[in-house]
A and B are shown apart, each in its own frame.
Chain A
Amino acid sequence: MGEEEGLHQTQLLDTMFVRGLKRKCFDGEEDIEGTLAGIKAIPSYNLQRQSLLDMSLVKLQLCHMLVEPNLCRSVLIANTVRQIQEEMTQDGTWQMINTQSTGQASLDRLVSTDILCRSSREQAEGKHVPGYSTFDKDFEGDQAQDNSETMSTASSVQTPRNLQSNVWEMENAQENKGNFQKSLDQIFETLENKSPNSVEDLFSEVDNSYYDLDTMLTGMMSNTKMGHCDGLETFASPTSTASNSNCKSDLNELDHIVEILVES
C-alpha cells in the first residue's frame, strides 16, 4: 500500500462520511471541534467500509420483511454491496474476513454496525465509539429521545436498532442480538462459500429467504402491515423518517371517524 493509495483512501473517507461538524466522524484531515469521542477513537477506513457493508446487508434483509420490497432500493443497495466487495477483494481484505471464525467475528461486526447507528447523544455519554453522526437526534425530534434512552440501557453489544423499520424496536434486545447474529452469519456464510460474484446470490437468497426471515424474527409475520402496528401505536415515533413503517394503525381510526361522519 503506497502513499498514493493512502491518499485515495482519505479522499474516499471524506466523500463517504460526514466531516467537519462536531460529534461527527473524524476524517483525518481537518480539526475536530469538540468531542472527546471523536478524538478518542479514529475509525479506520476499513472499519467504516465494513460498517457500510454490514449496514447494507442488514438493509437487504430488512427489506424482505416488508410486504412488497422496493426493487429499485434493493438493486441500489445490492450494487453498493457489490462495490464494497469488489474493492475489498482488490485490497485483499476480503480474504481476511473469510478466514475469521463466525462466532467472535460476528460480534465485532455487530459492534461496528451499531456504532454507525447510535445516536450522537449516546456518543456524548462517553461510550468508546467513533464519533459517527447518525442524524437521529436531529430529525427524529424530541419524541425520539425516549428511544435513545431505551437503547442506551440495553447491553453494550446491541443490535442496530434505529435502522429502517420501527418494528425492530419493539423486540427484546437479547432476542434481537441472537437473531441478528444468526442472520448475519447466514449472509456471510453465503458470501464466504461462493466466488467473488457471490453478491448476485443475494438476490436468490433474497427471493427464497422470505420465509426464513419469519422464523428469524419471532412475531414478525409480515403478511399484513396492520398486524404489527397495533403494538406500535403507543410506541409511535410520529416524526420518524423515511422508514417504510407500514403502520396503518390509524386506518382503523380513520374508518371509524368516517363512519361517524356518514351517520351524522
Chain B
Amino acid sequence: MEEDVETRKISSSFLRDHSYATEADIISTVEFNHTGELLATGDKGGRVVIFQREQESKNQPHRRGEYNVYSTFQSHEPEFDYLKSLEIEEKINKIRWLPQQNAAYFLLSTNDKTVKLWKDEDGEWRMGSRCLRAPTMVEPVSPLCRVLVRVRWGSGTCPWVLTLCLSSQVPVLRPMDLMVEATPRRVFANAHTYHINSISVNSDYETYMSADDLRINLWNFEITNQSFNIVDIKPANMEELTEVITAAEFHPHHCNTFVYSSSKGTIRLCDMRTSALCDRHAKFFEEPEDPSNRSFFSEIISSISDVKFSHSGRYIMTRDYLTVKVWDLNMENRPIETYQVHDYLRSKLCSLYENDCIFDKFECVWNGSDSVIMTGSYNNFFRMFDRNTKRDVTLEASRENSKPRAILKPRKVCVGGKRRKDEISVDSLDFSKKILHTAWHPAENIIAVAATNNLYIFQDKVN
C-alpha cells in the first residue's frame, strides 16, 4: 500500500486516551491460532476481534506479515441470573483455537458461565443459513498507527519491531446487505456454578475442558447438553473452603493428561484413565515455603494465576504474583527454574493488598521453541526470560515510546538508592497499567501484548 499509511496520523475519532479507557474495550484475552496466521482478542464487552496476517509481498518486504483486522463479532452478551439476582458478565475470559480443519476456523470463547464454539469460513460468509450463521461481517479496519521500532535485547541484536498498534478495539461497522445476527455454532451452557477461568482443547481434537473455581468439566464438541465432571474440589461444607482452582490445561500430546493449579500455589497433574473423577492426582507439584520470606501475604502471592505446558510437553510453567516458575514434569518437589518478574514489589505487598493489585492474574507464555518465556507486569511493562542464556529484558508497551523507526530501549526499574537517567523508580510505577495478557506466535518471533484497551504486536526485525 501507500507509504503514507505508515505515518498516517491516528484518527482522533477512534482515539481513546489511556486514562479514559472505556471499560468495555479492555482486552481480556489474546491468543494466536495454531499456525499463527490468526490472532484473536476478547474484551470486556464480550466482543471477539480476529486479526489475520497479511500475505508477504515482494513489493513491500518491510510490511512482511502484518496483522489486520479480519473479523469481529459479539460473542457473549450480559446476562442476568434471576435466581441469584446477579449479573453475569459478558467479559471474554479465554479464547482457544481449534486446529484448523479444511478451510474453516474454529474457536472457543468463554465468559464466566458459558462456552461457545464459533466457526467462520475463509472467504465464505454464510448468511441466513439455518444451522450455521457467520459472524457479522465487518470492514477490515486499517491499522490506525503503524510504526517500526527496533529493540535491543541485552548486548546482542535480538531486535523487536512494533508493527501494529491499534488505539481502539472499536471496529468500523458498515451496513451489510443482509444484517445477520451472529450465532455461535455450539453453546455449552449451564454446566458451571462458579466462574470459568480456563478452557483447554484436548489433543484428540474431540474434547475440551472448562474449569471454574471448584470444578473441571470435560466436553465433547458435538454434545452441548452434557459434560463430564472430572475434578471437583468443592467441600461438603462451603465454610471449609480454603482452596480454589485457578487454571487448567491439557497436555499438548497426551490426551489423557491435564494439570490444574490452585490458589495455594500447587499444581496437580491428573490422568483421566485412572478414574472417572480425577480427584486423586497422579502428580503433585509444590515448592516448600521459604521461611525467611514468610508473611501474612505469603499465601496470596503464591496463588498461581496461570499454568502452561511447554510445546514439548516436558515442562509446565506457572505464574504467581512475583515470579514465573518452570517445572519439570518428572520433579514434583520444586521447580527447575524460577524467574523474578518484579521482586521490588515484595516490600509493597501491604499496599498492593489494600488496592487489590495483589489479586491481579497475570498470564505467561512460551515461545515456539520453549526457549523464551514471557509475562506481563505493571506500568505497561512486560518481561522476557531466555531460559538458555539466562538473560532477561523488560520492555514497555506504550504509544508514547513508539516513534517510527525509533529504537526502543529495555526498561529498568530502580529499586533504591540513586536512580539513573532512564530508570523508573518503584514509586512512579503506574499500577493501573497492567499487562495481564500476552501471546506468542507458535513458530516465529511475533508477540501480541494487550495493554488495557490497546493491542501491540511486536515482530523481530531480521535484517
Contact = CB atoms under 8 A, between A and B. Distances in A.
A254 B244 contact: no
Contact of B45 (A21, A72, A164, A254): A254
Contacts of A258: 170, 173
Interface in A75-103: 75-76, 78-80, 83-84
B386 interface: no
A17 B299 contact: no
A34 interface: no
B430 A80 contact: no
B351 A225 contact: no
B352 interface: yes
B23 interface: yes
Given A52-B350, A68-B112, A83 B427 contact: no
B428 A138 contact: yes
A203 B241 contact: yes
Nearest to A138: B427
Contacts of A250: 22-24
Contact of B416 (A12, A20, A70): A20
Interface string A220-253: 0001110000000000001111111001101101
B205 interface: no
A67 interface: yes
B7 to A, nearest CB: 25
B348 A251 contact: no
Contacts of A84: 296
B213 interface: yes
Contact of B239 (A17, A20, A201, A244): A201
B318 to A, nearest CB: 15
B11 interface: no
Contacts of A243: 355-356
B263 A76 contact: yes
Contacts of B25: 254
A113 to B, nearest CB: 10
A68 to B, nearest CB: 5
Contacts of B170: 254, 257-258
A contact patch SS? helix
A187 B213 CA distance: 26
B430 to A, nearest CB: 6
A147 to B, nearest CB: 13
Contact of A67 (B86, B428, B434): B86
A134 B303 CA distance: 23
A18 interface: yes
B296 A72 contact: no
A135 B88 CA distance: 32
Contacts of A223: 85-87
Given A80-B300, A251-B45, A139 B243 contact: no
A128 interface: no
A248 B22 CA distance: 8
B300 to A, nearest CB: 5
Nearest to B89: A68
Interface in B303-356: 303, 347-356
A262 interface: yes
A251 B213 contact: no
B195 interface: yes
Given A67-B87, A257-B170, A16 B297 contact: yes
B242 A15 contact: no
B173 A238 contact: no
Contacts of A76: 263, 299-300, 303, 359
B432 interface: yes
Nearest to B379: A139
B456 to A, nearest CB: 19
A217 B242 CA distance: 28
B194 interface: yes
Given A76-B299, A258-B170, A261-B172, A55 B353 contact: yes
B404 to A, nearest CB: 27
A67 B357 CA distance: 19
Interface string B175-200: 10000000000000000001100000
A204 B239 contact: yes
Interface string A157-194: 00000111000000000000000000000000000000
Interface in B59-95: 85-89
A34 to B, nearest CB: 13
Contacts of A117: 354
Contact of B19 (A12, A143, A251): A143
B299 A79 contact: yes
A71 B213 contact: yes
Contact of B359 (A20, A134, A242): A242
A196 interface: no
A141 interface: yes
Given A80-B296, A80-B299, A242 B355 contact: yes
A257 B22 CA distance: 12
Interface string A197-210: 00011011001000
Contact of B354 (A16, A116, A240): A116
Given A16-B297, A72-B303, A79-B242, A238 B350 contact: no
A174 to B, nearest CB: 24
Interface string B398-440: 0000000000000000001000000000011111101000000
A127 interface: no
Contact of A55 (B172, B347, B354): B354
A50 B194 CA distance: 32
9 tightest A-B CB contacts, nearest first: A200-B239, A15-B295, A135-B351, A139-B431, A242-B356, A250-B22, A238-B19, A71-B213, A242-B357
10 contacts: A12-B295, A16-B349, A59-B356, A75-B241, A135-B431, A139-B431, A200-B240, A225-B87, A242-B434, A254-B24
Given A16-B297, A72-B303, A138-B429, 13 more contacts: A21-B427, A70-B195, A71-B194, A134-B354, A164-B356, A239-B19, A242-B355, A243-B356, A248-B24, A250-B24, A254-B24, A254-B170, A262-B173
